[in-house]
Amino acid sequence: MAVGLGNPGPEYARSRHNLGAMVVTLLAERHGERLRHSRNDHALVGEAKVDGRRLALAFPQTYMNDSGLAVRSLVRRFGIEDVGRLVIVQDELDLPAGVVRVKAGGGLAGHNGLRSIEAHLHDRGFSRVRIGIDKAPGRNRRPGDGIGHVLSPPSKKEQEDIDVAVATAADAVEHILVHGVDAAMNFYNSL
């Protein structure tokens, strides 16, 4: 299952914080599917076939800080017993804009969506596809500095890199499904 993080509502649709949602939406479109509202899961949910394998796709309709509510429900619904089979697609302040990296487990890098998921699953062993959005220019690294940056849309210059990164991140999710997270890390983390 791939879960793209973001915030619901049109005011956030093009923000840096919604790159994960953009990726799962693109994946659904690539495979002739669409995400549909699932009240029980607090998410938009769809399923696609990738290289003969079933891929559940979801975009939580909770706000980012409560992503774990939806993810916990989705993990139960789709019978995911090994949290390593869960792929979270997220924005990442600690990567340059447009850079895509794959990670298996590990730290949360101060990402509130990831923190919520860990709190609800009691496990941080899920895989991540991280899309760089860079830090806000001219800011020191203090709590709260990045809020305006992540919730605003990228500049026109950044948007070109972001569009490529969203497509690359979708490719990375498919790569994880077909070849495994280690192979995806070897490939995408060397680009």
3-class SS of residue 186? helix
Q: What whole-number distance in Å separates Cα of residue 156 and Cα of residue 96? A: 16
Residue 131: give the domain boundaries.
2-188
- Report mean pLDDT in 10-residue bins for the chain, 191 residues: 96 93 97 92 94 96 96 96 96 92 91 95 97 74 67 85 96 97 97 85
Among the listed residues 17, 42, 149, 175, the single catalytic one is 17
CB 169 within 8 A of CB 103: no
What integer pLDDT is reported at residue 149 of this predicted model? Answer: 76
Q: What whole-number distance in Å separates Cα of residue 48 and Cα of residue 30? A: 9
- Total number of domains in the chain: 1
Angle CA 147–92–50, to nearest 5: 130
CATH of the domain at 168: 3.40.50.1470
Angle CA 44–107–173, to nearest 5: 40
Q: Which residue has the tokens 């919520």?
A: 116
What integer pLDDT is reported at residue 144 of this predicted model? Answer: 58
The pTM of this model reads 0.92
Hey, which residues does 20 pair with through a beta bridge? Answer: none
What integer pLDDT is reported at residue 13 of this predicted model? Answer: 92
What integer pLDDT is reported at residue 150 of this predicted model? Answer: 83
Query: Which has the closest alpha carbon to 80: 116, 47, 121, 111?
Result: 121
Q: Would residue 17 show up in a list of annotated catalytic residues for this protein? A: yes
What integer pLDDT is reported at residue 64 of this predicted model? Answer: 93
